[in-house]
Chain A
C-alpha cells in the first residue's frame, strides 16, 4: 500500500514539475535564454495567491490574479531586461548572470515583504483527504493533477493549433527566417516569456497549497524541471512532461531506500547518467 501511495505522490509532484518544465522549455527553446529567474516567478505566484486568499478573496480569483500578475512580470522581465541586454549585444554569460541576479532580487524582496519562514495557506478544504482503499490524497493534490494535466493539454493545443502558437514555433526553429518574414521575433519573445510565466503560476500556487510557501523554494523544482527538459530532449514539450513525472516517481520510490533529504542527489544522478549516455535526451527532435 505504501508503494501505491508513493506512486500517487510521485504523480502529483510529477504533474506540477511537468508544467514547470514545459513552461521553462517554452522560454528556452524560443529565446535560447537559460531563464533562471523563472524560479522567482514560480515563487511569486504562490505569494500573490496567499496574499489575496488571506484577505478573504475567493481561491479561484486568487489563482487567476496570480496567473495575470506573473504574466505581467514575465513580459516586463523580457522587455526590460533580456531585450535590453540583447540590444547591447550581450553574450550568453552576461544574460545568465543578470538572470541569476534577478532571481536573487525577487526571492529576497519576497522574503523581506512576507517572511523568510514557511507560510501555510489559510484554506481549510485543501488538506481534507480523500481516502481510497488506504491511499490518501488531499483535495489540493487532486486539484494539482487535474489542473496541471489540463495545462499540459492546453499548451499542446496552443502550440499546434493557434496562430500565435505556430508563430512561436516558427521563431523557435529559425529566428532569422522569422525576422525577414516579419514574424517579429522580439515581440514574440515578450509573448513567450509572459505565457510561460502565466503557466508556471499554476504549479506555483497549487504546490504551496499542499506544502506551504518558502521564498527560496523555487530553485530545486526549477533545477529538477530543467533536468527533465534536457532528459526529455530540448524542444519536445511532451518529452519534458513525461520525464518530469518519471523523475518525480523515481524520487518518491527512492524514499523506500534512501531518506528524503537526499532526493536532490537522486535527481542529479539521473542527470549525470543522461549526460554520459544520451546527452541529446530521449525524445529530441532530429536536428
Chain B
C-alpha cells in the first residue's frame, strides 16, 4: 500500500513537471532540456529553508522556492529571445550542465554529491503532515492546482496567443501582440510549476541529491511529454503515470542493478525516436 501511495505521489509531482515542460516545448515551441535544473533549484531552496537554524513554515519556503524558479526560468529564456530558436538549445543545455555542476560542487549549499538528507515533512498552516496518505493528498492537491491553472490558461486568450506564437511568431508580432511579454509570462508559469514540484519533491522524499536533477532527468521529462502527448492537459497527466511505472516493470525483468539506469535511459531514448518518427502527437496529444 505504501508503495502505491509513493508511486501516486511521485507521479503527481512529475505531472507538474510535465505541465512545465509541455508549456514550453509543446505550447510555445521552445525546446528545453533544463526543466530538471529549475526543478532542482526549487527542491534545494525549499530544503534549505526548512532545515535552516530557524526553520520556516513549508508554505513560506515553497513560495520563496517558486519565486526563485520563476526568476530563474525567465532569466534562462531571456538571452535567447534576441536570436533564433536553435540558440535556445545551447542555452538550455548550458543551464542544465551548469546547474548540475552547482548541485554537485557547491558542497556548502547543497551537500554536494552526497546530497541533502533529513528534510522535515511539510506542514500546512501549522498542521504537520506525517503519514504517506497525507503526503499523497498534498501532492495530489498540488497537481490539481497546477492542472487547473494550465487548463484556465489554455482556455484564455493568452493560451491562444501562446499557440499562435508557435505557429508564426512574425504574424503575432504583426498583429500587435508582444511576443516577448508572452514568452516571458509562459516561462514564468513554467517556472512556477517546476518550483512547486521541487518543493513537494524535497519534502516528500526528505532526501535530495544531484542525480534527480541532471540532464537524464530533463530527458525523462521530455519523454513524458512526448509519450503522453504534447500540447494537451491529458497528455501531461498520462505521460508521467505511464513512464514512472516503467522502472517497476524493469525490476520484474532480471537486469543487474548497475545496468538498470542505463536500460531506463535507453528505453527513454528509443521512445523519443519512435514517437517522433511514427506518432509525433503522442498518445493523447496534438501534432507537435
The interface of chain A, by Cβ under 8 A from chain B, is: 28, 34, 36, 81, 84-85, 88, 90-98, 100-109, 111-112, 116, 219-220, 223, 226-227, 230, 259, 261-262, 264-265, 267-268, 271-272, 275-276, 279
Q: Of B140-148, B188-196, B232-240, B256-264, which binds chain A?
A: B256-264
- For A84, the chain B residues whose CB sits under 8 A away are 277
Q: Do A108 and B266 touch across chains, with their CB atoms under 8 A apart?
A: yes
Q: Do B263 and A101 touch across chains, with their CB atoms under 8 A apart?
A: no
Is B244 interfacial (CB 8 A cutoff)? Answer: no
Q: Do A100 and B29 touch across chains, with their CB atoms under 8 A apart?
A: no
For the A-B complex with A93-B288, A96-B89, A97-B276 known, give 13 more contacts whose Cβ atoms are closer than 8 Å. Answer: A34-B86, A88-B277, A97-B222, A98-B273, A101-B273, A104-B265, A108-B265, A116-B258, A226-B89, A230-B90, A262-B101, A268-B97, A271-B94
Q: Do A98 and B272 touch across chains, with their CB atoms under 8 A apart?
A: yes
Number of interface residues of B (CB under 8 A): 44
- For A96, the chain B residues whose CB sits under 8 A away are 31, 89
Q: Is the interface of B mostly helix, strand, loop or mixed?
A: helix
Residue from A109, A116, A227, A259 within 8 A of B90 (CB atoms): A227
23 sampled A-B residue pairs with Cβ under 8 A: A85-B276, A90-B280, A91-B288, A92-B85, A93-B31, A94-B276, A94-B288, A96-B31, A97-B226, A100-B33, A102-B273, A104-B216, A104-B269, A105-B266, A108-B262, A109-B266, A112-B259, A223-B93, A261-B104, A267-B94, A268-B95, A275-B79, A279-B83
Is B105 interfacial (CB 8 A cutoff)? Answer: yes
Question: In the bound complex, what is the Cα–Cα distance between A81 and B274 (angstroms)?
Answer: 10
Question: In the bound complex, what is the Cα–Cα distance between A95 and B222 (angstroms)?
Answer: 14
Residue from B90, B97, B269, B276 within 8 A of A220 (CB atoms): B97
Q: Report the 10 A-B pairs with minimum CB-CB distance, sorted nearest first.
A: A101-B272, A104-B269, A105-B269, A98-B276, A108-B266, A101-B273, A268-B94, A275-B79, A279-B83, A108-B265
Question: In the bound complex, what is the Cα–Cα distance between A279 and B88 (angstroms)?
Answer: 12
